[in-house]
Structures are given as C-alpha cells and as structure tokens.
Amino acid sequence: MRIAIFGSGYVGLVTGACLADGGHHVTCIDVDRTRVDMLRSGGCPIWEPGLEDMIRANTAQGRLNFTDDAAEGLRDARVAFIAVGTPQSPDGSADLTYVDAVARDIGRLTENRLLIANKSTVPVGTAARVQDIVDDALSHRENRPTITVCSNPEFLKEGAAIQDFKHSERIVIGTSCPEDEQTMRDVYKPLNWQHEKILAMDVPSAELTKYAANAMLATKISFMNEIATIAEATGADVEKIRVGIGSDSRIGYPFLYAGAGYGGSCFPKDVAALAHTARTTGCQPRILDAVDAVNVTQKASLFRKLARAVPSLEGATVAVWGLAFKPKTDDVREAPSLDLVRSLIEAGANVRAYDPVAMETFRAALGRQADRVVFTGGNLDALTGADALAICTEWEEFRMFDPDRLASRMRGRVIVDGRNLYDPSRVAEGGFHYISVGRREAE
Ligand code: NAD
C-alpha cells in the first residue's frame, strides 16, 4: 500500500520507518526543508535507538522517501497519516494549527480516494474538524475524490519507539466506517499477525483514549511524588514504599518512580489539554489540576534542594548530569533540567552540563541563556571545580557511584539526585552530602 505521512518528527519517522519495514511504500512529508534534506542524505534529525539504520535500510530498498512537496507525497497514497505537533496553547488547549494546515493541503491536493488517519494527539472532535476542513477545500475543486478521516492515536515511548510501534500492546482505531476499519487493518497487517492487537472503537472514544492513557501515567508519577514529599517530611523511604505497594498486583510496579517531575513533549501538554476539554464541556478536572500542580512543585524541587545545600549559589559552580527528559532520547521538551538550569543561571551560578545525546537540543531550547552554560565532553569533565552535582536524568553511565573520582574533580561535596540513583548510606560514607527524592538526607 502507498502511504503518506505528514510530519517527520518522533512519531512520523518511527511510523514511516516501521510501516516501510513491513513492506509498505511510504513517503514522509515535512515542511522543514532542512529536515527533509538531512533525511534524504541518510541522516536522522532525531536521536532514537535503531531509527537511523531502519530509515537507511528502507530508503535503500526504495520503500521510504522524503519530500517537502505535499502533492508529491500524496500521489497514489491510499492512507495519509497526520503526525504533526499539537503543542500547548496559552489557555492549555491543544494548538491545532499544524493539523489544520495538513487538512487544507490534503483537501487541496489529493487526487484519489484517501483515508486520513490522525496519529497526532488531538482533542475529541478533531477528526470531524479535519473532515470539515477537507470538505471545504474539496468544495472549491472540480475533482472531488472521496476523503474520509479516522483516529489512530499513537502510544509509543521515545527511547523505545521502534519496539513499541512494532510490538505495541494495542492499536486503537477510531472509525464508524467498516471500509475504513478494514483499510487500517491492512495498514497494520505486518504488525498485527501474531495475535489481535487492534481495538476498533468510535472516533470520540479513540481520541479520548490517548489523553486518558497519558493522564493516568502522569497521575501515577505525581502521586508518587506526593508520597515522596510526605516521606521526606516523616522520615520514610519512598523506594521502600514503591516496592511495598508495587508488589500488590492491583497496583503493579511500572511508573511508580518518584523523581524530578515529569517532562517531555506529551504528559504536560496532554494533561493540560484534557483539563481544558473537561472545563469547556462543563466538567471539573479536579484530579488533572492536582496532577499538574504537584508536577510544577516537583520540577522546582531540585533547585530548592540545591539552594538549601549550597547557601550562596551566586558564583558557585553546579554540574548538571542529564538534560534529556528521560534516558535514551535527545528530547528536552519540558525537561526538569530546563527549569533547574534556568533557575541556576538566574541565581548567578556557573553551570557545567553534560548529557550523552541531548546537549544540542538543550542548547537550542535554552536559547540565548545557553551562552551561560559550559557543555562538557563527558560526565567527569562537568564535575571540574563543581560545588555541587545535580542529577536530572537516569542515564546508565551515571548509575555507578565512585566517590574518589567525584571527589578528585569537585570542589564541594553536595549531590542533589532527582532520580534516586545511589544508596544514601554509601554516598554518605564516601564523604558527600546526598539529597535525593523521598528519602532521608545523608551526610
Ligand atoms: P515533532 O515536533 O517531533 O514533529 C512534528 C513534525 O511535523 C516536525 O518535523 C514539523 O516540521 C512537521 N510539520 C509541522 N507542520 C507540518 C505540515 N503542515 N506538513 C508536514 N509536516 C509538518 O512531534 P512528535 O513528537 O512526533 O509528535 C507528533 C504528535 O504525536 C503530537 O500530537 C504528539 O502529542 C503525538 N505523540 C507524540 C509522542 C512522542 O513520544 N513524541 C508519542 C505519542 C504521540
């Protein structure tokens, strides 16, 4: 099948590469010419394990192409995925500017029968909105091919995106049209052959399922962060509590980690967008508001802890390990490290930062303030002359505590750990003042 994909970001590229790998002929369309040129020349604009190789292999087989020309991408396509960004608007709602623009292009340029599959995370009613925009564009044309819209939200995780896409636990398809459902089953045939993963449902339920999933995961994180705050105040240990409750099969272990607050391109905006949907439909999003409020406080907690442990941050040097919002990605959108580094710069501290893959994206996200940060070639370099070390991301290379190596480079002896990587008693034995999340401080 010929497939067009609008948006060559984390979702669009993974979808395109995996569907091409499954034998489809895929053209990825993006408005960013630089991105398209890079992809055409064998590069990959994002860091996602295994993606570059998969893109290269499928491009070489002629099953995967890239263009910035929507008409070219749509030529003979049977299905067009929308996988463009849906960032947060100032009022919390999902900004549908990019989705609308794709719908207009499709309505203007499509020549044949087409099914639009909306993979971007969008509020209930967006499939109908896309259909209206397409129909309006078609009404100005002589050739009016049949174009319909279904919802096909994406559940992949950055860092494990290919595995998640190819071996997903479920494929949600929202449509009330049996023919469109069958077309989507054909699209996913290469990935749906060992056991049935497709959950077909009505469009509003499919659109809301994605928000409900992300809101549930964000709720688990904020819940554990609240328990961590109570543990800090009472002398309990959140890591012991995590195991204590995770062992209950009704609760389970995943997503019970207290930390520096959730970030990334999805949870913060999706919680806000769902709360906005609730408010505009007369519902009170009491849990969602609390989840967000806890997260805002949690993201500020690393700086608060540092400011307490290093009384004069002005002129002090702070090493920051980990900039990505989680390991195995270069994505820094809404990352706790951004809040921390901005606060440190405002406090007059010198920041020495290191991340294995996210330094360029972090530099871009920080903008002009990036001039105030020294980006180092390795994690040990970042420690040179540091009064304190702050850990924001649990990359594997940070997980071994080596007091001698730290002490030989650092000036101070403070570690603020937003990921609970180390055993507090061992860090204290190593001569450090260790402040983690939801556990007693150790020195
Ligand atoms: P992204 O920002 O990485 O990529 C979006 C791409 O769309 C960019 O390359 C941009 O240039 C391109 N684009 C914008 N307007 C366009 C247009 N008119 N035509 C063609 N291309 C256009 O975004 P992402 O992280 O891949 O997310 C895309 C959507 O998927 C969002 O709604 C997001 O919430 C959702 N989602 C993301 C993830 C994730 O982990 N990143 C997971 C599931 C769902």
Other C-beta atoms lying within 10 Å of the C-beta of residue 74 = 23
44 is annotated as an active-site residue:
no
Q: Are residues 227 and 368 in the same domain?
A: yes
Q: Which two tokens stand for residue 80?
A: 């067009």
Same structural domain, 134 and 207:
no
For residues 307 and 443, membership in a common domain is answered with yes
The confidence score (pLDDT) of residue 207 equals 98
Interval 195-250: pLDDT, tens: 899 999 999 999 999 999 999 999 999 999 999 999 999 999 999 999 999 999 99
The total number of residues written for the chain in this structure:
443
Regarding whether 259 and 165 lie in a shared domain, the answer is no
CB within 8 Å of 293: residues ≥ 6 apart: none
Catalytic residue among 44, 266, 283, 392: 266
Are 164 and 220 in contact, with CB atoms under 8 Å apart? no
**Boundary residue ending a domain (200, 218, 248):** 200
CA of 141 to the centre of ligand 1 (A): 29
Q: Is 27 in the pocket of ligand 1 (CB under 6 A)?
A: no
Number of domains into which the chain is organized? 2
Domain boundary among the residues 164, 181, 200 is at: 200
**Structure confidence at residue 193 as a pLDDT band (50, 70, 90):** confident
Q: How far is CA 246 from the centre of its chain?
A: 24
pLDDT at 270 over 90: yes
Percent of the chain with pLDDT over 70: 100
Tokens found for residue 273: 């967008």
Minimal CA–CA distance to 29: which of 62, 63, 72, 76?
72
Alpha-carbon distance values, 355 to 298, 351, 376 (Å): 21, 13, 8
pLDDT at 45: 96
> Do the bridges between strand 350-354 and strand 433-435 make them parallel or antiparallel, or are there none, so unpaired?
unpaired
- Report whether 85 contacts 120 (CB < 8 A): yes
Residue keyed to tokens 């339920």: 205
Average pLDDT in the 341-366 region?
A: 98
Q: What six digits make up the tokens of 82? A: 């929308």
Q: Of all atoms in ligand 1, which is nearest to the CA of residue 12?
A: 26
Element containing residue 397 per DSSP (H, E): none
How many other C-beta atoms are found inside a 10 Å radius of the C-beta of residue 30?
A: 24
Q: How far does the centroid of ligand 1 lie from the alpha carbon of residue 306, in Å?
A: 35
Domain CATH for 254: 3.40.50.720
Question: How far apart are the C-alpha atoms of 244 and 240, rounded to whole Å?
Answer: 6
Looking at the fold, whether 182 and 237 belong to one and the same domain comes out as no
> How far apart (Å, rounded) are the C-alpha atoms in residues 397 and 345?
26
User: What pLDDT is stored for residue 195 in this prediction?
Assistant: 85
- Distance from the Cα of residue 285 to its chain's centroid: 23
CB 42 within 8 A of CB 57: no
Q: Is 207 in the pocket of ligand 1 (CB under 6 A)?
A: no
What is the Å distance from ligand 1's center to 378 Cα?
31
**Side-chain half-sphere of 14: how many Cα atoms within 13 Å?**
26
Give yes or no: residues 436 and 331 share one domain: yes
Residue 52 annotated as binding site: no
**Which tokens hold the place of 218?**
């964000």
On whether both 234 and 163 belong to a single domain, the answer is no
pLDDT tens for residues 91-132? 999 999 999 999 999 999 999 999 999 999 999 999 999 999
Cβ(388) – ligand 1 distance below 6 Å: no
Query: Between the CA of residue 146 and those of 109, 135, 350, what are the distances in Å?
Result: 12, 9, 59
CB atoms within 10 A of CB 8: 28
Contact 7, 82 (CB under 8 A): yes
Distance CA 382, CA 288 (A): 37
Q: What is the mean pLDDT of residues 392-405?
A: 96
In terms of domains, do 74 and 177 share one? yes
Query: For position 102, what pLDDT does the model report?
Result: 98
Q: State how far the Cα of 432 lies from the Cα of 443, in Å rounded to an integer.
A: 6
263 annotated as a binding-site residue: yes
Domain identity same for 7 and 32: yes
Q: Which of 270, 159, 259 is nearest to 208 (CA)?
A: 270
Q: Check whether 234 is labelled as a binding-site residue.
A: no
Mean pLDDT of 353-363: 98
Q: Which domain holds residue 77?
A: 2-200
Query: How many C-beta atoms lie closer than 10 Å to residue 219's C-beta?
Result: 18
On whether the CB atoms of residues 127 and 149 are closer than 8 A, the answer is yes
Collect all residues with Cβ–Cβ distance below 8 Å to 346 and sequence separation of at least 6. none
What one-character-per-residue DSSP string does 388-429 give? EEEE-S--GGG-S--HHHHHHH-SS-EEEETT--S-HHHHHH
Domain end among 136, 169, 200 = 200
Which pLDDT score is estimated for 194? 78
